[in-house]
Structure formats: structure tokens, C-alpha cells
Chain A
Amino acid sequence: MAEQIWVNAEVVEGKLTRATLEMVGKAAELGDAEAVLLGPAPPDAVETLAAHGATKVYRSDDPVYREFLSLPAVQVLAALIAEHRPAVMLFASSYAGRDIAAALSAKLDCGALTDVGDLALKDDGALEATIPALGGSYQNTSTLSGEATKLVLVRPKAFDIKANPKTATVVDVPAPGDAALRKIRVTERVTTPREGPQLEDSRVIVSGGRGLKAPEHFAMLQELATLLGGAVGATRAAVDAAWVPYALQIGQTGKTVKPDLYVACGISGAIQHLAGMKGSKTIIAINTDADAPIFQVADLGVVGDVFKVVPQLIQELAKRKGA
């Protein structure tokens, strides 16, 4: 019998996340893909999970999972895991995924693997995970010892989304009633307005770092991004300086992107930033410092002033578009 590979399905802003579908696809490659979907979800969520390879969905649409953060999910998942003993459970490296996996790993005393780029199950059932460690400067393989379910936090964009139509049986999961699980209350959700395409789905990203010097200079990057049909991203330095919202952050603590084209403007290429964009197909870098590490990953590097090179590029693109 194939191993049960579970996926913690996540809904963000009313949609199943991309990472959820990536993980379901991988789970179906490794064994019987089964998803656990806790909390309010769109009406076609089960159908969508099945369309990507899930054969069973443990389901509760109780709002307790949304209103009280991670604790109810941790309790219910621990009970489900104890009952069904899946070989592996996959979590997205999201805010919720990280909270739940960390707490579960302590509750079940089994540990967890984080930042996993790929995984395989050996014939003896052992898990072997590939982990790009230290911002991707190393690529290690790790395992979790013991008989317990292996909890794995997966890097975003680690796997492709593939259509894999299956029929999924739905198992209703009763919501927990324990008042102690309602200790962390979400009182308000604020969404920062965004323009243009979503960073993770964009085929072109124009990104800015400390070298942009001031928030108003991001307008120049937006102009370039619009000409290239892409989105604007930023480094941690730029979001920490409050030049642009956190949602634009690319890197170890931000988003992982793999666009066809990544244009790094005034970015030195700290290892934490490289971790989030090194998988881009083509990388162009503009930076004044010829020794900046970003040039080591760039297909084309221009050592120069971003305030001269970018406007010239914008002008050139506008001209060629018009031609």
C-alpha cells in the first residue's frame, strides 16, 4: 500500500494558496495525497485539491480556525495524525504553516524539517529532504529519525503545479470545543492595497534595494516594471526602511520568486536576498559596487549608477515599443 502523504491546505484571501497545490502535486508523486483543510474555504476547494491529485480531504469549515489563529488547528491535526499515522505531512513555509508545524513538532515530540526544496521516500520508508541551507550557499540532505509522522515545511515554488485529476472522498472533522484553544484571538485583518500583478505569479520582477536611497525612487522601478509587464519587488533593507510594504519583500524572510526575468536595481545581493530569487531564469543586475555578490548570479551585470542606467533603459524600452 502506498504511503499516506498529507498536506496542510491553506486558504489566504479566499483562495487555496499556490503552495498548497504545489504540495498536493508532490504528495501524489510520493504516495496517496491527502489534504487537511481547516477553516472557511471557497466552495470548489475540495474539487480543486482533487484536480491536483488529492484522493481524500479532511475537512472542517468551522470559523474557529480563522478566528483563533494556530491553536485549534494544532490540536485537531495532532489528533488526526495520531489516528491515521500518515508517513509525511507537508506544510507551506507561510505564517500559518510555520506556526502550526513548529507547535505540532513539539506536541508530537518528533521535530520538523524546514526550508525543504525537495524530498524523497526511500524503500525503507526513510525520508530524505534536500535543503538549501544558509541562504542557498549549501545544499544539504537531512532526515528525521523515528517512527513518527515526518513534518516538513516546504520552500515556496519548490514544485510545479500540475493537473492530476482524482476523485477525493471528504471526511468531516468536528471542530474542537475546548476553550483553552481560543487563547489567541484575531480581532482585525488589514490588507494593504496592491497594484499590478502578484509578485509570486509575475513573469518579470524589477526589484530595488538600499541603492534606491529613498522611497520615491521606487516610482522609476514601477515604470520599468510596467514597460516589461511585471511587478516590483524589494529587499529586506528597503522594506525595513518602510520605503515599500512588507508584501514586496523577496528573500529568506520574504517571498521566493522564480520569474523569467529578474532585474535587481541597487541590490548588493546579501545571501538572504539571493535565497529568494536565485531560481530566476534570467537575472540582470545594476549596482555601483563591482564587487557586489549580486554580480555572481547575474547573467548580465552593469556596474553603474542605477539613477542613470534605469532611466536610459526605460527610455530605450519606450522607444523600441513605440517603433
Chain B
Amino acid sequence: MNILVCAKVVPIASVTIQIDPATKRIVRKDVTQELDPQAAKGVEEALRLAEKHGGSVVTLVTMGGEDATIGIKSALAMGATSAIHLSDPALAGSDALGTAKALAAAIGKGPFDLVICATESSDSYTGLVPGQLAQLLGIPPLTFATSIAVDGRTVTIKRQSEGGYDVVTAEMPALITVTTGINEPRYPTLKGIIGAKKKEIRKLTAADLGLGSGDVGESGAREKVLTVGRPPARPPGTVVRDEGEGGKQIADFLANLKLI
């Protein structure tokens, strides 16, 4: 199987993400980046499918600046075969649709069976890119998967629903989005990390993808952020240390507010 995994590289989880009021974009400069933990689940799922179905190839596709390399390397160290890095200042500032167009142009260059994405990224989580990408590639989107099974050319997922799950099936090629609970991604081994250094990272620019300023980058973005602000803060509350009466204090508080 030929599996592509779309992955974003995001500020590490311990960082409080900031928006630059001037550019109205997420601050990425001087912030340590990592492979998006949500996307790592996509990589893991692709590797498990590849292990089960011999002769498979897992290709990572990432759009981002030079600092995305660190995340690409972790996916390669986990076991991805190679990577495609869409890196071009002309792509910076793309909205979700611009990003989907760039990914679709890169993925559409070769044959593939499955495209795997996270349901949404950990930093901006619009959750739009996978659905847009499937539409642009003309393949069925199987979304919110909590498990994936491939049998011949048929792929079947359990899809999270409001009250449980649905079993959903389609023929490949198809796109799948994976939920956070689907797996626990492996840690790269030392061998994997060393091996990753020799793996190919193919760089593509907007021109390579045949995309112009009407489609990608800030000029191509349909979505425009007008203002960046902070929400009104909640009035500060009371914090007490439990000295053995904590439960009673809560009961008193509820009684005062007539909540009991």
C-alpha cells in the first residue's frame, strides 16, 4: 500500500501558544516545534497498516518553514519511509483551503491508496483541511476514525458519532482522519533516529506545485483575521487548601448560592 500521512509541526505542548497581533498569525519564531501529537497518531496508524500489509510505503507530507524539519525527522525516526516538505515563503499565511490546495497538489503528483490526517491540528484546529483535501483529490473522506481495517481494496473504519460509533466503509483510494484515542504512538528507537538521517526529504515550492498567489499564502486566503483580542476574564474566585473540611466548604458554598 502507498500511504501518505499529512502532518503539521506545531509549538511543543508545554508552550502557551501566542498570536502575533501584527501578523495575526501564531508565533512560531524562537518557539520549539514538534511533530503535532495528533499527527503522530496518524503516522502510527499508517505504520501499523504498513506492517500488516507487506510492501507498503509511508510518506509524510508537511507544509511549513525550515523549523518543521524537527517534526519531519521524528516521523522518519518513527518509521516513515520518506517525506515531502512543502516549504516556501509564498505558502506562509495560507488559510485552511490554501493549505489543502498545496497538500492536494503534492499528493496528486503520484499514485496513492490512503491519505491519513489528524481530525484537527493541536495548534489552530480548524479541522477543515482533511475534508477540503479529500474534496480536491476527489476521494471519499472517512472521518473521525477510532479504528481502521483494510481488506483488499476496501477500507472500513469505526467512526465516532454523537451517541457511539458508526461502521463506515469505502473503496481505496480514500482519506481517513484519526481521532486522538486511536493509538499510542511509538517512540523512535535510537536505530530509527540514526536511520532517519539517511531518509529522503523532498522539498517542493509553490511553483513546483503549480500554485499561484490567488490560491496560497496570505494573498490567497479567503479567511481574513480582522482583530486579535482577549476574551473578557472571569472574575477571580476563592482558592482554599483542604485542611480536612474541603468537602464541607464546598457544601456551604453551594448552599450559599442556593445550588443545593
Does A71 have its Cβ within 8 Å of any Cβ on chain B? Answer: yes
Q: Which residues of A contact B250 (CB under 8 A)?
A: 263, 284, 286, 300, 302, 309, 313, 316
Q: Which residues of A contact B129 (CB under 8 A)?
A: 102
Of A43-51, A79-87, A207-215, A290-298, the one touching chain B: A290-298
Tell which of B181, B230, B237 touches A301, judged by Cβ atoms closer than 8 Å: B237
Does A167 have its Cβ within 8 Å of any Cβ on chain B? Answer: no
CB-CB nearest in chain B for A13: B163
How large, as a class, is the contact surface on chain A? 35 or more
Report the minimal beta-carbon distance from A3 to chain B, rounded to whole angstroms: 19
* Assembly CA distance A194 to B161 (angstroms): 14
* Assembly CA distance A186 to B168 (angstroms): 4
Size of the B side of the interface (Cβ < 8 Å), in residues, is 80
Tell which of B167, B226, B251 touches A142, judged by Cβ atoms closer than 8 Å: B226
Contact A312 B246 (CB under 8 A): yes
Contact B222 A110 (CB under 8 A): yes
Does A144 have its Cβ within 8 Å of any Cβ on chain B? Answer: yes
* Assembly CA distance A187 to B155 (angstroms): 12
Within 8 A of A (CB), among B164-183: 164-171, 179-181
Report the minimal beta-carbon distance from A244 to chain B, rounded to whole angstroms: 12
Tell which of B136, B161, B237 touches A299, judged by Cβ atoms closer than 8 Å: B237
Q: Which residues of A contact B135 (CB under 8 A)?
A: 74, 102-103, 106-107
Tell which of B132, B168, B238 touches A102, judged by Cβ atoms closer than 8 Å: B132
Of B49-57, B67-75, B95-103, the one touching chain A: B95-103
Q: Which residues of B contact A314 (CB under 8 A)?
A: 247
Report the minimal beta-carbon distance from A130 to chain B, rounded to whole angstroms: 9
* Assembly CA distance A303 to B181 (angstroms): 29
CB-CB nearest in chain A for B182: A240
CB-CB nearest in chain A for B167: A188
Tell which of A74, A109, A139, A240 touches B181, judged by Cβ atoms closer than 8 Å: A240
* Assembly CA distance A311 to B255 (angstroms): 17
Contact A128 B226 (CB under 8 A): yes
Q: Which residues of A contact B147 (CB under 8 A)?
A: none
Report the minimal beta-carbon distance from A88 to chain B, rounded to whole angstroms: 14
Does B22 have its Cβ within 8 Å of any Cβ on chain A? Answer: no
Main SS at interface, chain B: mixed
CB-CB nearest in chain A for B256: A300
Does B29 have its Cβ within 8 Å of any Cβ on chain A? Answer: no
Known: A114-B128, A185-B169, A300-B238. A315 touches B247 (CB 8 A): yes
* Assembly CA distance A278 to B95 (angstroms): 27
* Assembly CA distance A10 to B255 (angstroms): 40
- Map CB proximity to A onto B117-151 as digits: 1 under 8 Å, 0 otherwise: 00110011111111111111000111110100000
Contact A12 B163 (CB under 8 A): yes
Report the minimal beta-carbon distance from B260 to chain A, rounded to whole angstroms: 6
Contact B162 A286 (CB under 8 A): no
Known: A95-B162, A253-B120. A302 touches B246 (CB 8 A): yes
- Map CB proximity to A onto B188-226 as digits: 1 under 8 Å, 0 otherwise: 000000000000000000000000000000000111111
Q: Which residues of A contact B164 (CB under 8 A)?
A: 189-192, 245, 247
* Assembly CA distance A253 to B16 (angstroms): 18
* Assembly CA distance A69 to B177 (angstroms): 14
Q: Which residues of B contact A226 (CB under 8 A)?
A: none
Q: Could you write out 25 A-B pairs with CB less than 8 Å apart?
A: A95-B162, A102-B128, A102-B131, A102-B132, A105-B96, A106-B131, A106-B135, A113-B223, A132-B231, A134-B17, A138-B19, A139-B231, A140-B229, A141-B225, A190-B165, A191-B163, A240-B181, A246-B181, A284-B253, A295-B237, A300-B239, A310-B247, A312-B245, A315-B247, A320-B255
Which B residues are within 8 Å of any A CB, using their own CB?
16-17, 19, 24, 26, 95-97, 100, 119-120, 123-136, 140-144, 146, 156, 159-171, 179-181, 221-231, 234, 237-242, 244-251, 253-255, 257, 259-260
Which A residues are within 8 Å of any B CB, using their own CB?
12-13, 69-71, 74, 94-95, 98-99, 101-103, 105-107, 109-115, 128, 132-134, 136-146, 183-192, 194, 204, 228, 236, 239-240, 242, 245-247, 252-253, 260-261, 263, 278, 282-284, 286, 290, 295-305, 308-317, 320-321
- New contact pairs (4) apart from A308-B242, A311-B247, A312-B245, CB-CB < 8 Å: A70-B141, A106-B97, A261-B259, A284-B254
